[in-house]
Amino acid sequence: MNSFAEHCGIHDEARRLALQQTEQLIAASGIELVRFAWCDLHGTLRGKTLVASAAAKAMLDGVGLVSTLLLKDSSDRTAFKVFEAGGTAELPGFEFASNLLLLADPASFKPLPWAAATGWVQGQPWMQDGSAVELDSRRILQRALARLAEAGYGMKCGLEIEFHIYRITGDSAQDQLDPEQAAWPGPPPKVAMIHPGYNLLSEQWFDMAEEPLRIVQHTAQALGLPLQSLEIELGPSQVEAVFDATDALTAADNMVLFRSAVRQALRRAGYHATFMCRPPFPNIMSSGWHLHQSLVDIHTGANLFQRDASAQGTQSTDAQYTLSEVGEHYLAGLLEHARGMTVFCTPTINGFGRFRPNALAPQSVLWGRDNRGAMLRVVGQAGDAATRIENRIGEPAANPYLYLASQIHAGLDGITRQLKAPVATDAPYGDAAVKIPTSLGEALDALQADSVLVDAFGSSFINYFMRIKQSEITRHEQAVDGDDWQRREYFSRI
């Protein structure tokens, strides 16, 4: 009898060999537990933990998951009425909290450096009939990359991730686990800073924060993540991690694993890491996720944004002074769909507080040549193999699969229509330009109005996404204390 993985059409010879090697590695390394993980709509890892002896069979036949995991808003409330007639009419297969099956990729196996005798594998959900779960965000990116490949392109991405680390204080850990204080969501931890801030790249502040940053370093490197540097950011208790560029799917996978791993490893050592854009304290500095991207030739790997010499007759403010024709079209596509893509780059209510003038965060739909105030920063020069576009609109809580997919669909539209970019800005905070949405609700409206992005993602996915994000907005509007709502909803959980 065929396994479920064979029924789904994914258990080829390469996967069979990877499963054999993973079985041997589990046995040889004394692994007792294996976590089967999957990334939900909000960029959070969920899954089940199996004993080691059950892991190999589960990688063939799947692990059962309740389908409502895909229907949760940011508080873990189910946004669809799955037990009412017609409650999931637009989502066949999700009625009555039915089952999905999680199939893990055996080649993704990693021992977890912070958890003794524990392994980890990454999976994706499938319907019980062996069809793909089209709402899965990783599959959304895979489809976007397939579309990109049909045009002859691959995508390369580098990650710059700002976030905050705090030391958990007093009896905070016990308070969070006090049954008398249990709530949905529960209280956040009480914390102290690891450095006082306002001294960018300070060696003294790095030394003060070295203990938690060493944990971040060792965790990332033990997981094989391409960490390049750890830095002290400007804000109090704010840090940044920078990663070498990889292919787009690997970059997205790395982002998901990095966030989950450092939060767990730091928590065990008495620290709280948060990827919330603006933690709930006075004088805080917002955190961004700056996404560096370029297209490459799918066959040779050559950077297709690079040009050997500036185009004839161009000035430094012209796109083709730095970028190839393909690069200019891609840049213009990002600008064309900037308002529609914003909600995939900044998907939380909290994140929109970052878009402020003169704050090294964008405010308008503009590009600039090495301009950190612009939404899109073109980095490099003619002859530079590292020429790329940096999107500065993202927050560190974003689902990376949706963030990257939005770039692909917007950029491809620019290439297909051969759009031209305007001249580079020299006033990124001026009044003349089109503004980035200033709230989650406005961003959702902008997405819905962008027919190109709706068609690219699929109207069924967009309707599903809108419904879940609207649940988040509604609950925030109904909250008695909006600040406390954000502390519980975001600071504790992301």
Same domain, 26 and 169: no
Same domain, 124 and 201: no
* Ranges of residues in the chain whose predicted pLDDT is under 50: none
Structure tokens at 380: 């490099």
Q: Indicate which CATH number applies to the domain containing 265.
A: 3.30.590.10
What is the predicted pLDDT for the residue at 179?
A: 87
Last residue of a domain, one of 133, 168, 196: 133
Residues 6+ apart with CB under 8 A from 442: none
> Is the CA virtual torsion 255, 260, 264, 270 positive or negative?
positive
What is the predicted pLDDT for the residue at 293?
A: 98
**Comparing C-alpha atoms, which of 215, 196, 210 is closest to residue 261?**
215
The DSSP result for 312-350, as a single string, is TT--TTSGGGTB-HHHHHHHHHHHHTHHHHHHHHS-STG
Residue in this structure with the two tokens 């203990």, named with its chain if needed: 211
Same domain, 116 and 152: no
Same domain, 211 and 335: yes
Same domain, 413 and 282: yes
Domain assignment of residue 88, yes or no? yes
Give the start-end residues of each E strand in 52-180. Answer: 63-66, 99-111, 118-126, 153-168
Helix (H, G, I), strand (E, B) or coil at 237: coil
Same domain, 170 and 82: no
Domain count along the chain: 2
CB 337 within 8 A of CB 452: yes
Q: Indicate which CATH number applies to the domain containing 8.
A: 3.10.20.70
What is the predicted pLDDT for the residue at 175?
A: 73
Rounded distance, CA 441 to CA 246, Å? 33
Domain assignment of residue 462, yes or no? no
Residues 6+ apart with CB under 8 A from 236: 193, 195, 196, 197, 198, 281, 283, 284, 285
What is the predicted pLDDT for the residue at 177?
A: 84
Cα torsion 453, 158, 105, 68 to 10°: value is: -40
CB 170 within 8 A of CB 253: no
Last residue of a domain, one of 133, 168, 188: 133
Helices (H), 209-324: 210-222, 248-268
Domain assignment of residue 475, yes or no? no
What is the predicted pLDDT for the residue at 199?
A: 95
Same domain, 210 and 76: no
Last residue of a domain, one of 133, 154, 184: 133
Domain assignment of residue 138, yes or no? no
Amino acid at 221: Q
Same domain, 102 and 150: no
Domain assignment of residue 470, yes or no? no
Domain assignment of residue 156, yes or no? yes
Domain assignment of residue 467, yes or no? no
Domain assignment of residue 375, yes or no? yes
Same domain, 52 and 152: no
What is the CA 405 to chain-centroid distance, rounded? Answer: 11
Same domain, 74 and 153: no
Residue 386: domain span: 146-453+480-491
CB 288 within 8 A of CB 162: yes
Same domain, 57 and 162: no
pTM reported for the whole predicted model: 0.97
Same domain, 89 and 154: no
